[in-house]
Amino acid sequence: MSKRIAVLAGDGIGPEIVSEAIKVLSYLNKDMQLGLTFDHALIGGAAYDAFGTPLPQQTLNLCKHADAVLLGAVGGPKWEPLAHAVRPERGLLGVRSELGLFSNLRPAVLYPQLVDASTLKPEVVSGLDLMIVRELTGGIYFGQPRGVSKLENGEKVGVNTKIYSESEIRRIAHSAFKIARQRRKKLCSVDKANVLECTELWRQIVTEVGKDYPDVQLSHMYVDNAAMQLVRAPKQFDVIVTTNMFGDILSDIAAMLTGSIGMLPSASLDANNKGMYEPIHGSAPDIAGQGVANPLATILSTAMMLRYTFQNEEAANRIEQAVNAALDSNVRTADIYSEGMTKVGTSEMGAAVLNALKAESAP
């Protein structure tokens, strides 16, 4: 049975990094007869330019009928003056919500070869392996009312609403506990329950759900402390579960612990493990079109796709091992470059992973 992948390259560096990921995945597809098929569609600014909307109906239909979605990134200065409703980022939020991708997994793993690329001391980050589980379809990014309006006195006010229902909290909590169970069995729930009633409920429900997972050690932390602890002693964490906005911010902090945002993949899953896979970084307009972006986060996202949607641990491991081997060969894109290494561009880094894959499968 064929396994359909919708490929949405998007904007900025999106097409450059996705093209490398597809080369790697296509090779493995042939080598392991995975039965993957690829269909390409526009999203974000590129879709707006072509169709006047960041999420054309045909793109959404393709995603709905696919088994998994591979996304590059969306956005860029060109589209910033647009109304919010048609900004590139709305296309991405639209896919997440239309597909019900509520559980966003963001692993932060420090590859030993990159210990010097982190701005933190090696003893603080070496061996780092944590997972942030971010709620993705609720909270302040979706809550109503929202918008900017004028008061009677003519002053403008901006409003967004942080709202979570009990069922939304319950399902992301289950997702996080299950992942913690497969790892070191420690879950830290991050909230701001001392100030925000919405997250007081969050804490209460996560605690309740925790009764179903007595083998997982549950702790709670306020988000300001969590931000501090992530840079002070990040190895205390195994799995972190948190709200949409807190997860957005904390996972960028976690990204820097690993040396570069260009190394971090992510998975966004629905209740049946259908998922969208994308690097956690954006479209990097400052380096777009230069062929210097790091494709490894996108390549590693395809490994997550094989693991979580297609349940193929062996294929996922092969990609991760090939990334490891490419780093062992001392090639580095600019974002993870350190002295003594060989600086390469996007396609050379992709080729290094591909060559490592080929070497693995050679008799």
Among 67-75, 103-111, 147-155, 237-245, which window interacts with ligand NAD (CB under 6 A)? 67-75
Cβ contacts of residue 319 below 8 Å, gap of 6+? 24, 25, 28, 299, 300, 302, 303, 306, 353, 357
Q: Does 285 bind ligand NAD (CB under 6 A)?
A: yes
Q: How far apart are CA 273 and CA 309, in angstroms?
A: 5
Active-site annotation holds for 129: no
The encoded tokens of residue 148 equal: 């900017």
Active-site annotation holds for 31: no
Catalytic pick among 31, 129, 252, 270: 252
Active-site annotation holds for 224: yes
Catalytic pick among 48, 141, 164, 308: 141
> Would you call 145 helix, strand, or coil by DSSP?
strand
The encoded tokens of residue 175 equal: 């997702």
Q: Smallest distance, Å, CB 298 to ligand NAD? A: 8
Q: Does 74 bind ligand NAD (CB under 6 A)?
A: yes
Residue with tokens 């490419």: 326
Catalytic pick among 67, 192, 274, 308: 192
CA nearest 3: which of 319, 315, 271? 315
Cβ contacts of residue 8 below 8 Å, gap of 6+? 40, 41, 42, 43, 44, 59, 63, 69, 70, 71, 72, 95
User: What is the DSSP secondary-structure string of 193-218?
Assistant: TTT-HHHHHHHHHHHHHHTT-TTSEE
Q: Smallest distance, Å, CB 293 to ligand NAD? A: 4
Given 283, 301, 309, 312, the residue binding ligand NAD (CB under 6 A)? 283
CA nearest 74: which of 41, 45, 106, 104? 45
Q: Smallest distance, Å, CB 89 to ligand NAD? A: 5
Cβ of 20: how many Cβ atoms within 10 Å? 24
CA nearest 345: which of 337, 329, 333, 331? 333
Cβ of 152: how many Cβ atoms within 10 Å? 5
Binding mask 4-43 for ligand NAD (x = CB under 6 A): ---------x---x--------------------------
Q: Does 262 bind ligand NAD (CB under 6 A)?
A: yes
Active-site annotation holds for 248: yes
Among 30-38, 159-167, 280-288, 347-355, which window interacts with ligand NAD (CB under 6 A)? 280-288
Q: Does 287 bind ligand NAD (CB under 6 A)?
A: yes
Q: Smallest distance, Å, CB 277 to ligand NAD? A: 11
Among 50-58, 205-213, 290-298, 311-319, which window interacts with ligand NAD (CB under 6 A)? 290-298
**Could you report how far apart the first and last alpha carbons of the chain are, in Å?**
28
Length reported for the chain: 363
Contacts (CB under 6 A) with ligand NAD, residues 313-332: none
Active-site annotation holds for 252: yes
CA nearest 267: which of 77, 133, 82? 133
Given 24, 109, 261, 300, the residue binding ligand NAD (CB under 6 A)? 261
Judged by CB under 6 A, the number of residues near ligand NAD is: 22
Among 74-82, 103-111, 267-275, 305-313, which window interacts with ligand NAD (CB under 6 A)? 74-82
Q: Smallest distance, Å, CB 161 to ligand NAD? A: 21
Catalytic pick among 67, 191, 248, 335: 248
Q: Smallest distance, Å, CB 288 to ligand NAD? A: 8
User: What stretches of 162-308 adopt beta strand conformation (E)?
Assistant: 186-191, 217-222, 239-242, 265-269, 275-279
Q: Does 343 bind ligand NAD (CB under 6 A)?
A: no
Tell me which residues touch ligand NAD (CB under 6 A).
13, 17, 73-76, 89, 92, 261-262, 278, 281-287, 293-294, 297, 335
Residues identified as active-site: 141, 192, 224, 248, 252
